[in-house]
Amino acid sequence: MNNETLEKMKQLRLFGMYDAFRTNLESSVKESLTTDQFISVLVASEWDDRRNRSVERTIRAAAFRYKASLEHIDYSIERGLDRNQVHRLAALDFIKEHKDLFITGSTGTGKSYLATALGYQACQNGYKVLYVNTAKLMGQLKLAKAKGTILAELKKIERVDLLILDDFGLQPFDPQSRVTLLDIIEDRHQKRSTIVTSQIPVKEWYDIIGEKTIADAVLDRIVHHSIRVELFGESMRRRNSKIENVFL
């Protein structure tokens, strides 16, 4: 009967219950549980399993470039990173309030890592996230426009709770990219949150976007109610490379 029950759990895709029930059957130490308690254990196991698989799917869909964790952020190096501010951001209230976050600073100061760590935190809390390199995204959307699928692609971007635009402004925006950027910002304005990382200070984004009317429209929607983190100092990659060479 137990084998039949296990098989039915598998067919019903109740994998959390399946693992918990099988573990209980195989355990040499039998806990004395009431029927209510045992059912509670099975349901809790199924709940945890589904939640974990959901988080895994969300992380895969986010397409992060690498793994990052808020717990592994290094505060020992002076680079303008405030632990209290990061803890406040980790609460993800800025996503609930549909605010944008700008992380600026010179190359290697940890902008992308911080943005990605916040993205992982958001995934673990049930938010849909998309990580993209800004220049690559614009290139992909150009192809989508040529194929006639750009509206569908923009709709996908609009639906994610948190969009991470990494390396914003490394390449200048051409006329089509400017319009596409405005479409993205307009679709998400006060409805979803966006994290922007850039080596370019915010005050210079106007020139990076180019074309006065579009630059005004984009910046008017994202700058005034944004949260800002400004990093500085030596590249973490260069610093770590120096440390490694010392021990070679």
- pLDDT, tens digit, for every residue of 98-111? 999 999 999 889 99
Mind listing the pLDDT tens digit for each residue in 107-123?
889 999 999 999 999 99
Mind listing the pLDDT tens digit for each residue in 45-84?
888 888 888 899 999 999 999 999 999 998 988 888 999 9
87 CB burial (10 A radius; 0-12, 13-18, 19+): exposed
**How far apart (Å, rounded) are the C-alpha atoms in residues 102 and 165?**
10
Tokens found for residue 144: 């989508």
Q: Which fold has domain 70-241?
A: Rossmann fold (3.40.50)
Per-residue pLDDT, averaged over 187-200, amounts to 96
* Predicted pLDDT of residue 248: 44
Q: Judge contact between 85 and 229, C-beta under 8 A.
A: yes
Write down the domain spans for the chain.
2-59, 70-241
**How far apart (Å, rounded) are the C-alpha atoms in residues 67 and 238?**
20
Model pTM score: 0.81
11-25, 68-82, 141-155, 167-181: lowest mean pLDDT where? 11-25
DSSP 8-state symbol, 97: T
Mind listing the pLDDT tens digit for each residue in 205-216?
999 998 899 999
3 state SS of 22: helix
| Cα-based angle 240, 246, 248 (whole degrees, multiple of 5) | 105
